[in-house]
Chain A
Amino acid sequence: METLVLFALLGLGSGAVIAGIALGVVLSWRGSGTINLAAGATVMVAGYVFWALRTGFFGFALQTVPAIVLTLLFMALYAVVVELVAVRPLRSASPLAKLVASLGVLLLTQALVLLIFGSAPRNSPSVLTGDVVSVFGVAVPEAQFILAGIVVALAGGLAALYRFTRFGLATRAASESERSAALAGLSPNVISLGNSVLGHVATGFVGVLAASIVGLSATTLPLLIIPALAAALFARFTSFGVACAVSLLIGISESLLYQASNESWFPTQNGSAIPGVQQVVEFLLIVIALWWRGSSLPLRGDLVERSLPMVPDQDRLAARVAPVAIACAVALVVLPSDFRQAVATGLVATVLCLSFVVIMGYVGQLSVVQLALAGVAGFVLSHLEAAYGIGFPLAPILAIAAATVLGVLIGASALRVRGVTLVVVTLAAAIAIEQFIFANPDWGGGQTGAPVESPKLFGLNLGADASFRGLDGSLPSPVFGLLALVVTVVLYLFVANLRRGDLGRRMLAVRSNERAAAAAGVNVRAVKIQGFAIASFLASIAGVMYAYDFRTVSANSYGTMSALSLVASVYVLGVTLVQGGVLAGFGAAGAVIPLILQTWVLPESRVSIYMQLIIGAGLLIQLRFCPDGLLVASATKRERRARASRAGKALTAVGAKPQGGV
């Protein structure tokens, strides 16, 4: 009993951090209608800045209080910059664009922190007292209580601010309709900026106080956004009190779960507790929140003027694909071995990126679980061989089917909600899969990775170790690359064809306007599920191909931050266009563009961080100046010209008729 109390109270610290982030999420939503994926990164930024000021990283060390004050000033400045770069330019943009912008901020700030401060976790000097108090005879650090008290006070203060001040009233009015906020006498820009500064300073403050308790790490802190999103969902992105309470409860249950994992009854594997239970619980919490609160989630009355990226027609496909395919085929034979490997990997990544084109470009939902699904397919493949001796082609078929089913189940849990909330479920699912499946000593590949046999058909080796070598006589064999090329081209044509057909039209109808789609007889849920099934299917195929490409499956390749980078790079290039998927694929980790960079430009150890930096910055620039995506913008221009010349005469003719010329 005493240990239970102790551990419950020890959870208050991390619960407070989650609460700080959840408050930031609620403030972002209320201020600008953004689901702010970067709210977790705010804690990281504040924590590192404070650490640097306290420890003399910048050449001078400050006392605690001045360091806190300076950090909070910095956070206000940071909020203003984020607001001007990633929020204000998108005020009238679609919810998906706003969401993606916060993803850009997350990628960019994490990359910057990693570059400046390195990736090793730091010990932040503690701010709060190290004293302990005795509760029911158990000694508990006072800091836990102080922290929890501070977030509760913050939540109460914010609630009061919203209830009693003109700023709060205007914000509430603004989230119903921007027009009514203007009537309240405050411009939406001011409201959004005010909430943003409030959010960053409040979250940052909690981050500074808690950094010594939860640990300062640029890789783990940003992901605290997931439990915070769960809490925010329960709060319907509105109530500070609920967000705070649920966060503290999550912190407490986390701590209890940790304690329980040392008990004898806790499920174990190879003598140690099974990992990832906490992440699975968080995922389930989010699913429950969506089912319970889903249909009542507030829809903001923002004026959406700029819609989602245009979707150019996919015409003259063969003429476009052939040259690229031939170039790839040649490259797969003549290039030196590391470049051959990179081309093959680029082809596989292309398939993965095509899945983002389907779910983001066509259905208009942000899903980040695909890379994890690819990993699942790879591990299933490896296990079917290792444990049951099932090989090619049955094993990949089963692996693809299993991962696709898993993907559909995850997608189905977000069906009740409108808007872009799928991202919350898929993010939580990705982390849960990473921690529960990949980190499992039996199911995952451990440090070395799980081996995969090369595919063999009728005794013929189709894998990367086939006897047919590249021009320089070394591995990998072009055979697997050519096989991947064929698969990629087929799937590319499939996704392009999807756009032109009935299902594609229905997806785009759902993307533009779910109500109007339903009124046109479209079963919105069915279309979303079909979209999710196709995306999961593509991702699973990519997963199997990855496994054969590397001949091993290792958990490191399927991390959630890599998935976020990949999503972002598809969006930058053109999420509605299959060509965007191809370019993003060749820019993915292990593919051609990073290889070029690391061969001639950048230190190898930091290529992935620099890529993340480029992608995050590129995303923010693209959203600002070229919202359709780089490739889409040019394709749309071309298409408009073509259509105008085709239909120009007819248009003017009708425009002259009485009923047309309004």
Chain B
Amino acid sequence: MPSPVLSARGISVRYGGVQALSGVDIEVRPGQIVGLIGPNGAGKTTFIDAVTGFARCTGSVEVAGRDIGRMRPHARVQAGLGRTWQAVELFDALTVAENLAVAARRPALWTTIRELLTNAEATRPPVGHALEALGIEGLAEAMPGELSEGQRKLVGMARAFVGDPKVVLLDEPAAGLDTDESAELGKHLRRLGDQGTPMLLIDHDINLVFATCDHVVVLEFGQVIATGRPADVRRDPRVISAYLGSAASDDIKVGEES
């Protein structure tokens, strides 16, 4: 098996009195889309926050074999992590294309200075490929405030992919989308995955997760309670009781985010 692009071992996070995560191990290997599911408050977002440096944690985080556990968030991103936010969090003063441009390039100080003294507009980095990959090339000139929730989600994802990250962590990209849109999103994700960007996918739409992912991890109360191929996880009795409830069936959608 190829060595993992993202390897998080023994991740524990405490928020005041709450043990949000205890000793979680998750690996993402090249070409893989790994699903991370669990009930509300299970610690899924906290896991992404810990890996990307927004939550203080113990444990180790490696990207492509490089220890990034002590870096500040922006440095982790530069080392190859990309993420989206549950609440999307676009830059509202910038157009969609400019939102992506911020993430697309990390110029050296000298480039920055030179750019200040010449026509800055001319050196804008290309972002079209990321918009195309998610089918939203028509939105380039729109302001975030003018977009629908679904469009905002797609822009947020495009922003995470535009800098050619080694691995992308997606926090509930399908929340707020209807079934058809979810399926469409799944196709985009699958294609991005096949093109070589491994992903960690958090979502409450378990049909999307089971259909898209190669590997699924289930969290409850900050602990991994099951892990394996989608087909196996889906049948795991602990998962059924903890997550799906006793009335588990194939087409329910649990814990929709408000």
Which A residues are within 8 Å of any B CB, using their own CB? 307-308, 310-311, 494, 497-498, 500-506, 508-509, 511-513, 515-524, 530, 576, 640, 643, 646-647, 650-651, 653-655, 657-662
Q: Which of B103, B120, B149, B180 is close to A520, meaning CB atoms less than 8 Å apart?
A: B103
Q: Are A521 and B78 in contact (CB under 8 A)?
A: yes
Which of the listed residues B105, B120, B143 has the most CB atoms from chain A within 10 Å of its own CB?
B120
With known contacts A502-B107, A647-B141, A662-B176, A516–B116 Cβ distance under 8 A? no
Please, how many angstroms separate the alpha-carbon atoms of A192 and B163 in the complex? 44
Inter-chain contacts of A643 with B (CB < 8 A): 95, 141-143
Is B58's CB within 8 Å of the partner chain A? no
Q: Which of B54, B111, B120, B177 is close to A504, meaning CB atoms less than 8 Å apart?
A: B120
Residues 80-97 of B, flagged 1 when their CB comes within 8 A of A and 0 if not, give: 000101000111111100
Inter-chain contacts of B116 with A (CB < 8 A): 494, 497-498, 501, 503
Is B220's CB within 8 Å of the partner chain A? no
Please, how many angstroms separate the alpha-carbon atoms of A500 and B97 in the complex? 12
Q: Are B101 and A659 in contact (CB under 8 A)?
A: no
Q: Are A647 and B140 in contact (CB under 8 A)?
A: yes
Residues 101-125 of B, flagged 1 when their CB comes within 8 A of A and 0 if not, give: 1110111000110011101110111
Q: How far is the CB of A580 from chain B (nearest CB, A)?
A: 15
Inter-chain contacts of B188 with A (CB < 8 A): 659
Q: Are B91 and A513 in contact (CB under 8 A)?
A: yes
Please, how many angstroms separate the alpha-carbon atoms of A520 and B84 in the complex? 9
Inter-chain contacts of A311 with B (CB < 8 A): 93-94
Q: Are A505 and B151 in contact (CB under 8 A)?
A: no
Q: Which of A511, A515, A520, A657 is close to B159, meaning CB atoms less than 8 Å apart?
A: A520
10 smallest A-B Cβ distances: which pairs?
A501-B120, A662-B150, A650-B138, A520-B103, A654-B138, A647-B141, A521-B77, A516-B89, A518-B73, A512-B91
Is B136's CB within 8 Å of the partner chain A? yes
Please, how many angstroms separate the alpha-carbon atoms of A551 and B139 in the complex? 54
Please, how many angstroms separate the alpha-carbon atoms of A646 and B141 in the complex? 8
Q: How far is the CB of B206 from chain A (nearest CB, A)?
A: 19
Q: Which of B91, B95, B139 is close to A516, meaning CB atoms less than 8 Å apart?
A: B91
With known contacts A503-B116, A517-B102, A659–B177 Cβ distance under 8 A? yes
Q: How far is the CB of B251 from chain A (nearest CB, A)?
A: 19
Q: How far is the CB of B191 from chain A (nearest CB, A)?
A: 13
15 A-B pairs (CB sep. < 8 Å) = A310-B93, A494-B116, A497-B116, A498-B120, A500-B119, A502-B101, A503-B112, A505-B102, A506-B102, A512-B91, A513-B89, A519-B74, A520-B102, A659-B135, A659-B185
Q: Are B149 and A662 in contact (CB under 8 A)?
A: yes
Nearest-CB residue, chain A, relative to B84: A519
Q: Are A647 and B150 in contact (CB under 8 A)?
A: no
Q: How far is the CB of A410 from chain B (nearest CB, A)?
A: 21
With known contacts A502-B105, A661-B150, A516–B85 Cβ distance under 8 A? yes
Is B25's CB within 8 Å of the partner chain A? no
Q: How far is the CB of A640 from chain B (nearest CB, A)?
A: 8
Is B194's CB within 8 Å of the partner chain A? no
Q: How far is the CB of B61 from chain A (nearest CB, A)?
A: 15
B residues 128-180 in Cβ contact with A at 8 Å: 135-143, 146, 148-151, 154, 159-160, 163, 176-178, 180
Is B72's CB within 8 Å of the partner chain A? yes
Please, how many angstroms separate the alpha-carbon atoms of A582 and B137 in the complex? 37
With known contacts A497-B116, A500-B121, A655-B148, A521–B103 Cβ distance under 8 A? yes
Which B residues are within 8 Å of any A CB, using their own CB? 52-54, 72-75, 77-78, 83, 85, 89-95, 98-99, 101-103, 105-107, 111-112, 115-117, 119-121, 123-125, 135-143, 146, 148-151, 154, 159-160, 163, 176-178, 180-181, 184-185, 188
With known contacts A513-B89, A654-B139, A662-B151, A501–B74 Cβ distance under 8 A? no
Which of the listed residues A307, A655, A662 has the most CB atoms from chain B within 10 Å of its own CB?
A662
Q: How far is the CB of A399 from chain B (nearest CB, A)?
A: 22
Please, how many angstroms separate the alpha-carbon atoms of A500 and B92 in the complex? 16
Please, how many angstroms separate the alpha-carbon atoms of A521 and B123 in the complex? 18
Please, how many angstroms separate the alpha-carbon atoms of A501 and B116 in the complex? 7
Please, how many angstroms separate the alpha-carbon atoms of A26 and B257 in the complex? 35
Which of the listed residues A310, A504, A653, A658 has the most CB atoms from chain B within 10 Å of its own CB?
A658
Q: Are A660 and B92 in contact (CB under 8 A)?
A: no
Which of the listed residues A521, A655, A661 has the most CB atoms from chain B within 10 Å of its own CB?
A521
Excluding A502-B123, A509-B94, 19 further A-B contacts by CB distance (< 8 Å) are A311-B93, A497-B116, A501-B120, A502-B125, A518-B73, A519-B54, A519-B77, A519-B83, A520-B163, A521-B77, A521-B78, A643-B143, A646-B141, A647-B140, A653-B138, A655-B148, A659-B184, A662-B149, A662-B176
Inter-chain contacts of A517 with B (CB < 8 A): 74, 91, 102
Nearest-CB residue, chain A, relative to B147: A660
Inter-chain contacts of A518 with B (CB < 8 A): 53-54, 72-74, 77
With known contacts A308-B93, A505-B94, A647-B138, A658–B181 Cβ distance under 8 A? yes
Inter-chain contacts of B180 with A (CB < 8 A): 658
Inter-chain contacts of A530 with B (CB < 8 A): 112
Inter-chain contacts of A658 with B (CB < 8 A): 180-181, 184
Q: How far is the CB of B179 from chain A (nearest CB, A)?
A: 10
Nearest-CB residue, chain A, relative to B88: A516
Q: Are A501 and B115 in contact (CB under 8 A)?
A: yes
Please, how many angstroms separate the alpha-carbon atoms of A658 and B121 in the complex? 33
Which of the listed residues A498, A512, A519 has the most CB atoms from chain B within 10 Å of its own CB?
A519
Please, how many angstroms separate the alpha-carbon atoms of A638 and B236 in the complex? 59
With known contacts A520-B159, A662-B148, A500–B120 Cβ distance under 8 A? yes
Inter-chain contacts of A523 with B (CB < 8 A): 72, 74-75
Q: Are A651 and B138 in contact (CB under 8 A)?
A: yes
Q: Are B148 and A660 in contact (CB under 8 A)?
A: yes
Inter-chain contacts of A308 with B (CB < 8 A): 93
Nearest-CB residue, chain A, relative to B136: A654
Q: How far is the CB of A628 from chain B (nearest CB, A)?
A: 11
